[in-house]
Amino acid sequence: MAKLYFYYASMNAGKSTVLLQASFNYRERGMHTMLFTAAIDDRAGQGIIASRIGLLAPADMFAPETDLFAAVASAHAVGTLNCVLVDEAQFLTKDQVWQLAHVADDLGIPVLCYGLRTDFLGNLFPGSQWLLAIADTLTELKAVCACGRKATMNLRIDWQGKPVVSGQQTEIGGNDRYVALCRRHFEAALAGQHQP
């Protein structure tokens, strides 16, 4: 029976690398995958999933209005899909998370979602909230804080490296805008007691 999976972590935990490796493993065995990434994330170019270690692959893009079930069903009708992989899953809407659940339940295709759990203030992203609520399998990927403890939080920094304590939930960026920290150092940084 196909399942809906959510692999979550802070920044720099290798989520995109793991996604690309999973897709490669399917394809190496002659199976077909469909990759999605958020249209809002253009750091590597539109419709590209890229990892910090240099792996990349083209992907279909999703925006809030994209019907993911319809997109997958249409592709599956043309040629059998063995797995659907979604990068930047925190940007999914509630409806899209349910659409992906129906891909697993109704089409029998495993769906592997990869994304951040929380934003720069420690609040859940909508996509992550609903994946945590309904996914069949939840797996935390590990990142490391500078202190050596597990990094679970994403601190947004300004151009001078100072912590940002307010603003829009979504701001696309990489190591230039975010630092993965343990909860203790995240709280200290937001309180102005620690520099990342």
> How many percent of the chain have pLDDT more than 70?
90
Token pair recorded at residue 52: 């910090």
Rounded to an integer, the average pLDDT of 86-105 is 97
> Could you give all domains of the chain from N- to C-terminal order, each with its CATH number?
4-142 (3.40.50.300)
pLDDT at 33 over 90: yes
Q: Is 140 a catalytic residue?
A: no
Rounded to an integer, the average pLDDT of 66-72 is 98
> What's residue 152's pLDDT?
92
> What's residue 158's pLDDT?
80
Q: Which position among 88, 140, 171, 187 bears the catalytic label?
A: 88
The amino acid present at 108, given as its one-letter code, is G
